Amino acid sequence: MVLRKQLGPSGIEIPEIGLGTWHYSGGPEPLRCGFEAGAWFIDTAESYGSETVVAEAIAGVRDRVFLATKVSRQNLRRSSLLEAADRSLRQLRTNHIDLYQIHQPNDDIPIEETMGAMEELVDAGKIRFIGVSNFSVRQLQQAQAALQRHSIVSNQVRYNLIDRTIEADLLPYCAANKITVIAYSPLGRELQRLRDADPSGVLQQVAAKTGRSVPQIALNWCLRQREVVVIPKGSSITHVRDLCGGSGWRLEPPELRLLDERIRFRRRSRWELALRRAVPRGFGKVLQPIVRRLPSGIRRRLQ
Ligand SMILES: NC(=O)c1ccc[n+]([C@@H]2O[C@H](COP(=O)([O-])OP(=O)(O)OC[C@H]3O[C@@H](n4cnc5c(N)ncnc54)[C@H](OP(=O)(O)O)[C@@H]3O)[C@@H](O)[C@H]2O)c1
């Protein structure tokens, strides 16, 4: 059974495990199996190319699904944003989106213009709730201040056992301001990355002790935070069923302590985050061959 959590200040609850669909290749069946297991929450984006498979998966059960999608950062001007929302509605074959998220901030476009367009969409009944993604505390504050009638209910950001950057300031800020954190890449984007950061094998030990799988341990670790829900991606029925078993129970304090103590993680500093934001988009790919030659400790910080 997938437990539910409050969605920010919205007054509604959503499943604490949702189904991610970035680079998703599984067709509608695994997603439907996720619904059957209680994960009635699905995350897509106009840029993922998965809105059409999501439409297939939700056909006939739309009313039960909490449907989240995202507008890309190049579409944050009012007219582009309104057009993008209409395009997503058509692709998803629905008359409303439950959670419409700004995929990434864009400092070149006034936030007042973007948030004004988001509010128009709520008022028109095309979206129910406004969310953001990859926003820092400062960007969240500016976005919230630009809203007149509605609130930001969520911020979708990377959070997992090996990247705990948000624990420094974003997570406490969201907790204090009733903003749900939707944790993306909760399995570290590839399970092997978690294993590489676990030299003493505690993930396997805790999995054996609790009778759970390693992915379930990784998800449940994120879910120990009251305001966090997770959106792992599984492309097969087996993987999705396994992921849904990450909810419905809780790791005990000694197990959490062991994971906290033994798994190597990073918390990016402010300057590191600022540097990453300053690197022009697309330039990261050019740097990849150089980064791959660096010692693993430095490489992990940069990737
Ligand atoms: N807002 C953003 O900027 C942003 C950025 C990244 C991701 N996201 C969202 O977050 C979602 C999840 O993140 P993610 O796709 O980066 O990575 P993730 O969920 O951390 O990891 C996905 C990987 O784990 C594997 N996996 C899943 N279940 C497994 C299982 N039971 N056993 C073994 N391996 C398993 C998947 O394999 P298979 O595919 O073979 O099942 C895939 O290789 C995305 O799909 C997307 O919706 C958002």
Centroid of ligand 1 to alpha carbon of 202 (angstroms): 21
Residue with the nearest Cα to atom 43 of ligand 1?
A: 190
Assess whether 285 and 237 both reside in one domain. Answer: no
Assess whether 227 and 290 both reside in one domain. Answer: no
Q: How far is CA 220 from CA 52, 91, 193, 224, 254, in A?
A: 30, 32, 17, 6, 14
At 174 the three-state DSSP class reads helix
What is the full per-residue pLDDT of the chain (303 aa) written as tens digits? 999 999 999 999 999 999 999 999 999 999 999 999 999 999 999 999 999 999 999 999 999 999 999 999 999 999 999 999 999 999 999 999 999 999 999 999 999 999 999 999 999 999 999 999 999 999 999 999 999 999 999 999 999 999 999 999 999 999 999 999 999 999 999 999 999 999 999 999 999 999 999 999 999 999 999 999 999 999 999 999 999 999 999 999 999 999 999 999 988 766 676 666 667 666 666 777 777 677 666 665 555
Tokens in use for 235?
Answer: 């492309």
Assess whether 249 and 278 both reside in one domain. Answer: no
Bridge partners for 43 per DSSP: 20, 68
Assess whether 282 and 259 both reside in one domain. Answer: no
> Which atom, in ligand 1's list, is nearest to the CA of 184?
10
Assess whether 194 and 300 both reside in one domain. Answer: no
212 lines ligand 1 (CB under 6 A): no
Residues 105, 67 contacting (CB under 8 angstroms): no
Provide the whole-model pTM: 0.93
Total count of domains within the chain? 2
Assess whether 279 and 228 both reside in one domain. Answer: no
Q: Among 48, 159, 173, 184, which one carries the catalytic annotation?
A: 48
> Which atom, in ligand 1's list, is nearest to the CA of 188?
20
Q: How far apart are CA 15 and CA 81, in angstroms?
A: 27
Residue 37 one-letter amino acid: A
For this structure, is 173 an active site residue?
no
Tokens in use for 133?
Answer: 């993604």
Question: Which residue is associated with the tokens 């740097």?
Answer: 287
The enclosing domain of 66 has a CATH number of: 3.20.20.100
- What radius of gyration do the chain's Cα atoms show? 19
Residue 262 one-letter amino acid: R
Assess whether 258 and 275 both reside in one domain. Answer: no
Q: How far apart are CA 212 and CA 221, in angstroms?
A: 12
The b/e string for 276-302 (b: 16+ C-beta within 10 A; e otherwise) is eeeeeeeeeeeeeeeeeeeeeeeebee
Assess whether 155 and 295 both reside in one domain. Answer: no
190 lines ligand 1 (CB under 6 A): yes
Assess whether 237 and 256 both reside in one domain. Answer: yes
- In angstroms, how far is CA 141 from the centroid of its own chain? 19
- For residue 62, the enclosing domain spans 4-265
Assess whether 153 and 301 both reside in one domain. Answer: no
Tokens in use for 279?
Answer: 């690197």
